[in-house]
């Protein structure tokens, strides 16, 4: 896709004050730390152009229907959704239910789904089911899919096809 919320369509003043919603679902403190590192890098990279509002949702709490409902609200409106886990195999059923609920509730096309999935101690092929599933979710939700391996290049890339925001280089940020 690469065409969502292209900041070149906004005025420099609007782009400088835009707030992007980030929803993070994570498995445990370690995977939260990995997601937090990415969010901090995004904030640093786009500090002049965007403000980020981030919500954090631990997997074990998404099994609670009330918490899952609130998390669905935030994820369905988010510009960036990060899913961080290092457990191989399938997602637990409550997590899949939550993912399906925000996918169905999402009313705006665009956005980026970022899977931070894997562990250096576990063979990468054991995570392929989760990656395949999330790629399919991104397609259904009309979102860009930004796998972990592409993040460094995207954070450095100022091109208009970058799925993360950038201002045109000839317009100063206000």
List of domains in the chain: 17-156 (3.40.50.360)
Mean pLDDT in residue range 119-128: 75
Q: Give 22's strand partners.
A: 54, 80
Q: What does pLDDT average to over the chain? A: 81
24, 79 contact by CB (below 8 A): no
Mean pLDDT in residue range 47-55: 89
Mean pLDDT in residue range 143-159: 73
Q: Which of 29, 11, 20, 47 is nearest to 114 (CA)?
A: 20
H or E stretch covering 98: helix 93-105
pLDDT tens by residue, 21-31: 999 999 999 99
Q: Give 20's strand partners.
A: 52
Cα 57 from Cα 64, distance rounded (Å): 11
Cα 173 from Cα 167, distance rounded (Å): 8
Q: How confident is the model at residue 54 (pLDDT cuts 50, 70, 90)?
A: very high
């Amino acid at each position: 896709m690469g065409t969502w919320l292209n900041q070149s369509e906004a005025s420099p003043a609007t782009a400088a004050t835009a707030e992007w919603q980030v929803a993070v679902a994570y498995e445990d403190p370690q995977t939260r730390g990995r997601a937090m590192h990415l969010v901090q890098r995004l904030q640093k990279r786009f500090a002049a152009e965007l403000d980020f509002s981030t919500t954090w949702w631990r997997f074990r709490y998404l099994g609670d229907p009330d918490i899952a409902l609130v998390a669905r609200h935030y994820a369905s409106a988010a510009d960036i959704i990060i899913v961080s886990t290092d457990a191989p195999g399938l997602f637990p059923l409550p997590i899949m239910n939550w993912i399906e609920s925000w996918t169905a509730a999402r009313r705006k096309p665009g956005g980026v789904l970022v899977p931070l999935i894997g562990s250096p101690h576990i063979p990468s092929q054991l995570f392929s089911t989760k990656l395949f599933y999330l790629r399919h979710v991104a397609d259904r939700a009309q979102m860009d899919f930004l796998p972990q391996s592409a993040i460094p290049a995207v954070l450095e890339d100022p091109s208009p096809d970058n799925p993360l925001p950038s201002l045109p280089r000839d317009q100063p940020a206000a």
